[in-house]
Amino acid sequence: MTDNSSHPAKSYTVSLHYDRRLYKHDVAGSIAHTKMLARRGVITDKDAELIATGLAAIREEIELGEFLWRDDLEDLHMNIEARLHQKIGEAAGKVHTGRSRNDQVATAMRLYTKEVIIKTVASVRALQRALVTQAEANLTTIVPGYTHLQRAQPVLLAHHFLAYFHMLERDAARFQEAHRRADVMPLGSAALAGAAYSLDREWVARELGFSRISENSMDAVSDRDFVLDYQYAAAACMMHLSRFAEELVLWSSEEFGFVRLADQFTTGSSIMPQKRNPDFAELARGKTGRVYGHLVGLLTVLKGLPLTYNRDLQEDKEGFFDTVDTLLATLGVFAPMVGTMIVRADRMLQATEAGYMLATDLADYLVRRGVPFRKAHGVVAELTKYAASKGKTYKQLGLEEYKKFSPDFAAGVMDITEEASLAARDVPGGTAPARVLEQLEAAKTTLEAAGG
């Protein structure tokens, strides 16, 4: 290798500082390729043994922090190969038979992507479990349900929490689909046209735990769709977490006062001792921006590339790795933050009663007694204005006051309560307690089927 270290712009091409995290995947790919070369008689068993042992020793050096990384060798792949030369001499040159860095890096990236998807899904599941636990603890807690951030209709808090369970369920499915797409083995594609040796690609795929081999060498070395798939799934998941974060910020404010976040997820102010800032939720909301940015960044890197490999493809990594780190860290914060948050059921009920949230139920009551819906709507609007002017909730109005607005109000109107309103929403997917319980059981079954 020429020593380019005096080249003024040399550092521009270096990817070592971030592609180092692919060392395990790179070594695994090289060992599988080497073993296959020996099985096919392309290299001797003795050389294969030397190479495989050398690579395993290098992996250990890296893990022990004893590996001497050299920026002048640009990337992870060249660093490992150069070290192999130092350790075993000439035979090291044979590991690259029928291979190029183009199919090598694509293989390492796919192995890494598959591995982080497994971790990501496990973290999504952990947050889903925290939500199910909170839902179970709040099967009778009533909270205002909102549209336009205006109090709309009472719902069970369990129903609200389970809404996030379902968002995360779709996120998990997107990651699983991304796994299926990443699960394709590129080795054998070589630089772009395929290797000029009789390689057993299927064997290498099995050895590395891939389900299939790529079917077009040109596509295989230039495709990074699988990284995009992860990044899109991550962007959608961060979007869900950001919405949840926004609610936690609102709900933990004194204006709402619906929840109290555990001390470890808030910070005090150095000047205002009464403050408990929801910094973790805010950061989750804020970090969503960079995850979106990395998705758009990679789409933009890829959009102008002619076939096949172009060095631009090296730009697939930093943003992706940051997305992985950001998402895993955010999910890792959310599970305990949700698990430890204190629900202030009294404040939720107070807000529900003060919000005239039974208006729809009162109108429905009149409709059942023969009043056309449009008219019933008008009656309840007038009634609500009146109650508000008197500073009373519906519950605090007497039957005579109701009757002033419509002769169709009778004693039964006094039975219209939050509980009755919930129970009436008895459609599949509705907020009736029996339906929410059904939903909760289904959520638990989903988690059990997913392995806990």
Among 52, 105, 178, 432, binds ligand ARG (CB under 6 A): 105
Distance CA 213, CA 201 (A): 7
451 C-beta neighbours (distance < 10 Å), count: 8
Q: Which range touches ligand ARG (CB under 6 A), out of 99-107, 203-211, 235-243, 266-274?
A: 99-107
Backbone angles phi, psi at 408, to 5 degrees: -80, -10
| Minimum separation from the CB atom of position 202 to ligand ARG (A) | 24
The dihedral over CA atoms of 236, 238, 241, 242, expressed in degrees to the nearest 10, equals -110
- Is 313 one of the binding residues for ligand ARG (CB under 6 A)? yes
Bond from prior residue into 417 cis (ω within 30 degrees of 0):
no
Residue type, 396: Q
Which pair of structure tokens corresponds to residue 305? 């590339």
Catalytic residue among 11, 85, 148, 270: 148
- Among residues 416, 394, 420, 419, the alpha carbon closest in space to that of 405 is found at 394
- Among residues 178, 165, 124, 183, the alpha carbon closest in space to that of 320 is found at 178
| Minimum separation from the CB atom of position 311 to ligand ARG (A) | 6
| Minimum separation from the CB atom of position 35 to ligand ARG (A) | 22
- Among residues 353, 338, 342, 337, the alpha carbon closest in space to that of 142 is found at 353
Backbone angles phi, psi at 212, to 5 degrees: -145, 165
Q: Which range touches ligand ARG (CB under 6 A), out of 126-134, 209-217, 309-317, 422-430?
A: 309-317
Distance CA 289, CA 165 (A): 22
Q: Is position 11 annotated as part of the catalytic site?
A: no
| Minimum separation from the CB atom of position 180 to ligand ARG (A) | 24
DSSP 326-343: HHHHHHHHHHHHHHHPEE
Report how many residues bind ligand ARG under the rule CB under 6 A: 11
Residue 412 makes CB contacts below 8 A (sequence gap 6+) with 365
Nearer CB in complex with ligand ARG: 252/314: 314
- Is 314 one of the binding residues for ligand ARG (CB under 6 A)? yes
Catalytic residue among 5, 11, 211, 269: 269
| Minimum separation from the CB atom of position 187 to ligand ARG (A) | 14
Distance CA 71, CA 54 (A): 21
- Is 102 one of the binding residues for ligand ARG (CB under 6 A)? yes
| Minimum separation from the CB atom of position 131 to ligand ARG (A) | 38
Q: Which range touches ligand ARG (CB under 6 A), out of 168-176, 207-215, 267-275, 311-319?
A: 311-319
- Is 309 one of the binding residues for ligand ARG (CB under 6 A)? yes
Which pair of structure tokens corresponds to residue 418? 């939050």
- Is 421 one of the binding residues for ligand ARG (CB under 6 A)? no
| Minimum separation from the CB atom of position 284 to ligand ARG (A) | 30
Q: Is position 148 annotated as part of the catalytic site?
A: yes
- Among residues 427, 361, 233, 394, the alpha carbon closest in space to that of 241 is found at 233
For ligand ARG, the binding residues in 156-175 under the rule CB under 6 A are: none
Q: Which range touches ligand ARG (CB under 6 A), out of 49-57, 308-316, 375-383, 384-392?
A: 308-316
Nearer CB in complex with ligand ARG: 305/349: 305
Q: Which range touches ligand ARG (CB under 6 A), out of 119-127, 234-242, 306-314, 437-445?
A: 306-314
Which pair of structure tokens corresponds to residue 216? 């077009």
Distance CA 102, CA 107 (A): 9
For ligand ARG, the binding residues in 62-81 under the rule CB under 6 A are: 75, 77
**Which active-site residues does the annotation give?**
148, 269
Residues interacting with ligand ARG, by CB under 6 A? 15, 19, 75, 77, 101-102, 105, 309, 311, 313-314
